[in-house]
Amino acid sequence: MHPQPVDPVAPEEAVGPSAVPARADAAEASAGTGAAETPEADLAAPEPASWTGLPDAVRERIAELAATAVAKLPPTDVPRQLRPVAKFAPAKRAKLGGAALLAALGDSAQFRTAVIEWLREHRTDALDPNAADSVVGAAAAVLLGESGAAGRVRLVAKNAEETALRAERDAALARNQKLEAELTELREELEQARGAVEAARGEREAEVEKLLRRLREQGVQLRQARDGAEEARAQLARAGTVKAEEIDALTTQLDRERRRVAAERTRAERAVADAEIARQSAREAREADEVRLALLVDTIDGAVTGLRRELMLSDRGARPADMVRGATSGLGPGGRVQDVGALDRYLALPNVHLIVDGYNVTKTGYPELALADQRDRLIHQLSALAARTSAEVTVVFDGAGVLSVPAAVPRGVRVLFSDRGVLADDVIRSIVAAEPKGRPMVVATSDREVADSVRATGAHSAPSAVLVSRLGRV
Domain boundary residue, one of 255, 285, 310? 310
Q: What is the pTM of this model?
A: 0.35
In-domain check, residue 240? yes
Q: Domain total for the chain?
A: 3
Q: What is the pLDDT of residue 42?
A: 37
In-domain check, residue 153? no
Please check whether residues 460 and 335 belong to one and the same domain: yes
Spatial separation of the C-alpha atoms in residues 401 and 462, rounded to whole Å: 27
Residue 20 neighbours by CB under 8 Å, 6+ apart: 12
In-domain check, residue 405? yes
Q: Smallest Cα–Cα separation from 358: which of 407, 411, 431?
A: 431
pLDDT along the chain (474 residues), means of 10: 38 34 35 35 48 78 82 83 81 80 82 85 78 77 76 76 80 88 89 89 88 88 86 75 71 86 86 84 78 78 71 56 60 66 92 94 94 93 93 90 63 90 93 90 95 92 95 83
Spatial separation of the C-alpha atoms in residues 114 and 6, rounded to whole Å: 9
In-domain check, residue 195? yes
Domain boundary residue, one of 310, 345, 361? 310
Please check whether residues 231 and 268 belong to one and the same domain: yes
Please check whether residues 298 and 357 belong to one and the same domain: no
In-domain check, residue 158? no
Greatest alpha-carbon pair distance for the chain in Å reads 157
Please check whether residues 289 and 183 belong to one and the same domain: yes
Q: What is the pLDDT of residue 67?
A: 81
420: CATH: 3.40.50
Spatial separation of the C-alpha atoms in residues 232 and 246, rounded to whole Å: 10
Please check whether residues 425 and 328 belong to one and the same domain: yes
Q: What is the pLDDT of residue 19?
A: 35
Query: Pairing between strand 353-357 and 460-462?
Result: unpaired
Please check whether residues 101 and 50 belong to one and the same domain: yes
Q: What is the pLDDT of residue 241?
A: 60
Please check whether residues 142 and 279 belong to one and the same domain: no
User: Within its chain, how far is the Cα of 76 from the centroid?
Assistant: 55
In-domain check, residue 169? no
Please check whether residues 220 and 116 belong to one and the same domain: no
Amino acid at 250: L
Domain boundary residue, one of 147, 164, 198? 147
| Full domain range(s) for residue 339 | 323-471
In-domain check, residue 160? no
Please check whether residues 127 and 201 belong to one and the same domain: no
Please check whether residues 242 and 341 belong to one and the same domain: no
196: CATH: 1.10.287
| In contact, 408 and 319? CB cutoff 8 Å | no
Taken in order 176, 181, 182, 184, the sign of the CA dihedral is positive
Please check whether residues 355 and 304 belong to one and the same domain: no
Q: What is the pLDDT of residue 282?
A: 78
In-domain check, residue 157? no
Enumerate helices (H) and strands (E) in the chain, giving the number of each. 16, 6
Spatial separation of the C-alpha atoms in residues 375 and 373, rounded to whole Å: 5
Within 13 A of 442's CA, how many CA atoms are on the CB side? 26
Please check whether residues 332 and 303 belong to one and the same domain: no
